[in-house]
Chain A
Amino acid sequence: MKKIDKERLLLGIAAPVLAIVVAFLVTALVLAATGKEPFSAFGIMFDYGMKSDSQVYILNKATTYYLAGLAVAVGFRMNLFNIGVDGQYRLAAFFAAAVGGALTLPGALQIPLIILTAMIVGAMWAGIAGVLKVTRGVSEVVSTIMLNAIATAIIGYLLQQGRLGHLDEAGTKISTTPLPESSHFFEFPTTPSPVWGFIVVAVVAGMAYWFTLSRTRFGFDLRTVGQSGSAAEASGVDVKKMVVTSMLISGAVAGLVGMPTLLNDSYEYSGDFPIGIGFTGIAIALLGRNHPIGIALGALLWGFLERGTGKLEFEGYDKEIVGVIQGVIVLCVVIAYEVVRRYGLKRQQSKVGAELAAQAARNSDQQEVSA
């Protein structure tokens, strides 16, 4: 049995590796087509990506991406496509920033309060889509896309002078009241720049995700619904309740996505708060096969690619190339997983068949002998 286990692991790793190799080959072709030497580009990326400040950058970036990947993965495990992580984290970060800016409690109280606010806002926003799905049959894909747009509008409305926004002295940048010093999250004092302390929260979230899904009854029910809604229903899972619950969880995790930036970097929500990370999360969850470690690797890879291409642009390559690599990776991953999944299933079936046939042959031989 160990053998099949090991093989499964191997197959599990084969898909992303295959995808990344193919993606790099395609990118090399694209680079070559633009008249640039592809391999020196990769060389630059790797060299640069391995520098100590790049490592810090990648870890910090990956913290955010990891949380986004987790938020999406919770939905994926349920067969729910939460495209709304993007709107959820932005709305959550906005309200968390507003709450954080309005209060000056001791950090030990205020930081958890900010994080909690974010999780609740994210959960509520995602919950709307969940409730709409179970009561009105609205596809969560459609409703979350719409909710993204609504979140943008709500933030746009509230982030104005006289509401929750403050104009800087140049009159060009509008943001929430900056968090007090006490609400800044701790950092690891690495040089040349610090690693954000929120990475710890991300790791804890990953472990909680893993534990909940694979070790609890709730997680089992959730996975069951994801694998077969009909079997889940027959097994006694309240599928509707599960849809709402998992959307709430997905949204709560989405609420965390903006926190590394808010608590470790910007300390305020302004018009230039990062957008679109929810979509990055989808790619990363796909890349990581919804597995907590896979997602971590995906997030690190994403951070690495972004770091590396910053350098590529500096070296005169087109900055669009990173978009090409990322897009191709996602595409390759989806294809590679399906190919490997089918191959693995077929292979296992034939193996089981072969083992049983051998067993049967032995039995029938014996029978014939005894007869």
Chain B
Amino acid sequence: MRRVSKITAACAVTAALALTATACGESSTESSGSDKGKMKIGMAYDVGGRGDNSFNDSAARGLDKAKSEFSAETKELTAKNGETPADREQRLESLAEGGYNPVIAVGFAYKDAVDKIAAKYPKVSFGLVDSVATAKNVDSIVFTEEQGSYLAGVAAALKSKDGQVGFIGGVDLPLIKKFAAGFQQGVLDTKPKAKVQIQYLSTGSDLSGFGSPDKGKEAAKGMLDKGADVIFAAAGGSGAGSIEAVAGKKGAWSIGVDSDQALDPALSKYKDTIMTSVVKNVDTGVFDLVKSVKDGKPVTGTQAYSLAKGGVSLTTTGDHLKDIQAQLDAAKKKIVDGSITVKTTT
């Protein structure tokens, strides 16, 4: 029965380790101090991080702008796949503890972590993109994606020959559904008889729909075959596939997302068929927060970067919207003055 004692010993060691964790040396967060003076901005990206050609990149643009403007020091950390809430908390905490202020969390996945860590570091200003935190020292930066998408819907309805348009969502997340809802409403308000095909590339926690241009291309081809001639893809990296497929069909238009995709070097050869892009100006939100901290009056609460505030907009690269600009402006006015309320769910 030698083995039994071995097991018992191992268990005892484990238990001891667990219970004496407090005693084993100092905590990692006790040793580092923060030096005053230079501004330090901490940024915690969602999965993908800088270089995702989507909203992480948009946040990074805001960071870069703030960095050069305020000659700040920055630290950027990125989430991995398969994280637990504890990982995200750790990331925010290491930034807060490292003296970074503000600490900006990009992505709704950070909500709970921000709430927890912000409460622990009341003197640090936090930013949370795409979700609303409850802690007081947090600037919740949210966007009215549905409003931008509404305008895209109006444009699509006007540009489509027979009112057949398509929407490709990367993953069927609530966030993407906001795009779909706004787009659909915009199309139908403009052309009640129009038909909107909606398709998501992947579902639930399978985020591959954001990174599979091949899937985007297939979906777009299918929609084109069924007669659609305007396709709006809110699908991250998969959108490139859709844009490519649309470019292959004469007279069809594509609508990009997040950043101005007509200016994307990889997609610029299709720019004649990219009607516009619905951009979400995360960079504005990020920069505003940094600036407010710099000025000593940190923004807190929920900042809805709406159409009215320029938080979402349509790009005009290539001037493809010139002929319908009047209608778009009218629609925008109605949203801004509240006579149209855009739905957030389909």
| A in complex with B | yes
Contacts of A53 in B (CB 8 A): 27-29
Contacts of A60 in B (CB 8 A): 86
Centre residue among A57, A64, A156, A195 by max chain B CB count within 10 A: A156
Cβ of B174 and Cβ of A161 under 8 Å apart?
yes
Contacts of A272 in B (CB 8 A): 83, 85, 109, 205
Known A59-B21, A272-B109, A280-B82; judge A192-B205 contact (CB<8 A): no
Contacts of A160 in B (CB 8 A): 172
Known A152-B203, A170-B132, A207-B11; judge A188-B142 contact (CB<8 A): no
Q: In chain A between 302 and 336, which residues have their CB closer than 8 angstroms to a CB of chain B?
A: 306-307, 310-311, 313-314, 319
Q: In chain B between 78 and 119, which residues have their CB closer than 8 angstroms to a CB of chain A?
A: 78, 80-87, 90-91, 94, 98, 108-109, 111-112
Taken together as a complex, chains A and B put the C-alpha atoms of A366 and B3 apart, in Å, by: 41
Taken together as a complex, chains A and B put the C-alpha atoms of A272 and B130 apart, in Å, by: 14
Bin the interface of chain B by size. 35 or more
Q: In chain A between 281 and 296, which residues have their CB closer than 8 angstroms to a CB of chain B?
A: 292-293, 296
Q: Which residue of B lies closest to A52 (CB)?
A: B27
- The reply on B337 being an interface residue by CB < 8 A is no
Cβ of A169 and Cβ of B132 under 8 Å apart?
yes
A98 to chain B, nearest CB (A): 14
Main secondary structure on A side of the interface with B: helix
Taken together as a complex, chains A and B put the C-alpha atoms of A222 and B132 apart, in Å, by: 51
B121 to chain A, nearest CB (A): 13
- The reply on B188 being an interface residue by CB < 8 A is no
Known A48-B28, A52-B24, A90-B205; judge A156-B91 contact (CB<8 A): no
- The reply on B7 being an interface residue by CB < 8 A is yes
Taken together as a complex, chains A and B put the C-alpha atoms of A171 and B18 apart, in Å, by: 39
Contacts of B108 in A (CB 8 A): 168, 170, 172-173
Main secondary structure on B side of the interface with A: mixed
Taken together as a complex, chains A and B put the C-alpha atoms of A153 and B80 apart, in Å, by: 21
Binding site for A on B (CB under 8 A): 3, 6-7, 10-11, 14-15, 17-19, 21-29, 75, 77-78, 80-87, 90-91, 94, 98, 108-109, 111-112, 130-132, 140, 142, 172-175, 178, 202-206, 302, 344-345
Cβ of A173 and Cβ of B178 under 8 Å apart?
no
Contacts of A61 in B (CB 8 A): 84, 86
Q: In chain A between 52 and 104, which residues have their CB closer than 8 angstroms to a CB of chain B?
A: 52-57, 59-61, 64, 90
Taken together as a complex, chains A and B put the C-alpha atoms of A160 and B85 apart, in Å, by: 21
- The reply on A277 being an interface residue by CB < 8 A is yes
Count of interface residues, chain A, beta-carbon cutoff 8 Å: 62
- The reply on A51 being an interface residue by CB < 8 A is yes
Cβ of A153 and Cβ of B203 under 8 Å apart?
yes
Known A52-B21, A171-B344, A274-B83; judge A296-B14 contact (CB<8 A): yes
**Chain A to chain B contacts (Cβ below 8 Å), 27 pairs:** A50-B25, A51-B26, A52-B28, A57-B90, A152-B205, A152-B206, A153-B204, A157-B204, A167-B174, A173-B108, A190-B18, A195-B18, A195-B19, A195-B21, A199-B14, A203-B14, A207-B11, A214-B3, A271-B173, A276-B81, A292-B7, A293-B6, A296-B14, A306-B87, A310-B91, A314-B75, A314-B94
Known A51-B27, A54-B28, A277-B82; judge A173-B87 contact (CB<8 A): no
Contacts of A214 in B (CB 8 A): 3
Taken together as a complex, chains A and B put the C-alpha atoms of A274 and B109 apart, in Å, by: 11
Cβ of B86 and Cβ of A265 under 8 Å apart?
yes
A12 to chain B, nearest CB (A): 12
Contacts of B7 in A (CB 8 A): 207, 210, 292-293
Q: In chain A between 151 and 193, which residues have their CB closer than 8 angstroms to a CB of chain B?
A: 152-153, 155-157, 159-161, 167-174, 188, 190-192
- The reply on A343 being an interface residue by CB < 8 A is no
Cβ of B205 and Cβ of A156 under 8 Å apart?
yes
Contacts of B81 in A (CB 8 A): 275-276
Contacts of B28 in A (CB 8 A): 48, 51-54, 311
Cβ of A155 and Cβ of B204 under 8 Å apart?
yes
Centre residue among B7, B77, B86, B302 by max chain A CB count within 10 A: B86
